[in-house]
Amino acid sequence: MKLQFDEIGYWSEIKHDIIKKYAGAYSSILTSRKFFHAYIDAFAGAGIHKSKTKGILVKGSPLNALDVSPPFDEFHFVDIDKAKISELKKATGDRPDVHIYEGDCNKILLEEVFPKVKYGDYKRGLCLLDPYGLDLRWRVIRTAGQMESIEIFLNFPVMDINMNVLWQNPEGVSKTHIERMNNYWGDDSWKTAAYTKLPNLFDLDWKQKQTNPNEKFQQFYRLLFVFRFPKTYC
């Protein structure tokens, strides 16, 4: 069965363009300093998307990264979807600098990719984390922050969070989605950004949803980086 390419809208195309420009600037700086540097895409997909606005196939982040000049020394592309990985392999060919992994990025990044860009080896990495939803675990971000050799470009999965977690009545959210959110965030402190505590008969409980929780969520998440990885922001 032929793979149906993911359709992306106008804003996603802008996002890909921003990432490509950022990757170009990053590679230029690291090349000038003679650092070995790798491009890492944890949710690489098929490398090609269908544009909703143009009705044509357009390059995704992996193929855009391959076009960057000066080039990265290595490319590491990960995806859990077998069909997308197969298509990505066709698109990238047999380049020796391209490494493609099929499986869960939460495991592959920690065990196979991040160890290749250690700070002490004078290696650096630009890691794109653009999850399909709450598929990313905090331990990946924690490890990258502690390594101090990996720069993260994170796309916040607002749609999944709003649909499955940030309900007006938090008591109705399933334990599965709560656990997914905790794994993504690192703990349950996200409730502070999402809800206001209101008194009940016995104690205070999370009841009232905050106004504009998406904005507060992203601001709160940025603060996590500042407090948990202070050296990154020195």
Instruction: Place 157 in a pLDDT band, splitting at 50, 70 and 90.
Output: confident
In a domain, 100, yes or no: yes
- Name the residue range of residue 199's domain: 159-213
Quote the DSSP letter at residue 166: -
| Final residue of a structural domain among 120, 155, 190 | 155
Q: Does 144 share its domain with 179?
A: no
Tell me the per-residue pLDDT of 109-156, one tens digit each, with 9 for 90 and over.
999 999 999 999 999 999 999 998 999 999 999 899 889 999 998 888
Distance, in Å, from the CA atom of 162 to the CA atom of 39, rounded to the nearest integer, reads 30
Q: Does 148 share its domain with 37?
A: yes
In a domain, 222, yes or no: no
In a domain, 47, yes or no: yes
In a domain, 223, yes or no: no
Residue 78 backbone phi and psi in degrees, to 5:
-125, 140
Q: What is the number of structural domains in the chain?
A: 2
Tell me the per-residue pLDDT of 28-81, one tens digit each, with 9 for 90 and over.
999 999 999 999 999 999 999 998 888 889 999 999 999 999 999 999 999 999
Q: Does 192 share its domain with 94?
A: no
Tell me the per-residue pLDDT of 122-133, one tens digit each, with 9 for 90 and over.
999 999 999 989
| CATH at 81 | 3.40.50.150
In a domain, 138, yes or no: yes
DSSP helix/strand/coil, 14? helix
Q: Does 190 share its domain with 116?
A: no
Q: DSSP string of 42-88?
A: TT-TTSEEEETTT-SEEE-HHHHHHT-SSPPSEEEEEES-HHHHHHH
Q: Are strands 57-59 and 195-199 parallel, antiparallel or unpaired?
A: unpaired
Q: Does 58 share its domain with 33?
A: yes
Distance, in Å, from the CA atom of 144 to the CA atom of 139, rounded to the nearest integer, reads 8
Q: Does 116 share its domain with 97?
A: yes
Residue 73 backbone phi and psi in degrees, to 5:
-75, -35
Q: Does 90 share its domain with 181?
A: no
In a domain, 230, yes or no: no
Distance, in Å, from the CA atom of 153 to the CA atom of 148, rounded to the nearest integer, reads 14
- Listed as own residue / partner, the contacts of 209-215 with beta carbons closer than 8 Å and 24 or more positions apart are 209/166, 209/167, 209/168, 209/170, 213/166, 214/158, 214/161, 214/162
In a domain, 231, yes or no: no
Question: Which runs of E-coded beta strand occur in the chain?
Answer: 7-8, 36-41, 48-51, 57-59, 74-79, 98-102, 123-129, 150-154, 195-199, 204-209
Distance, in Å, from the CA atom of 167 to the CA atom of 58, rounded to the nearest integer, reads 35
Q: Does 57 share its domain with 105?
A: yes
Q: Does 65 share its domain with 177?
A: no
In a domain, 218, yes or no: no
Q: Does 142 share its domain with 35?
A: yes
Q: Does 63 share its domain with 171?
A: no
Q: Does 17 share its domain with 126?
A: yes
Burial zone of 209 (CB within 10 Å; 0-12 exposed, 13-18 middle, 19+ buried): middle
- pTM for the whole structure: 0.85
Checking if the pLDDT of 231 tops 90, the result is no
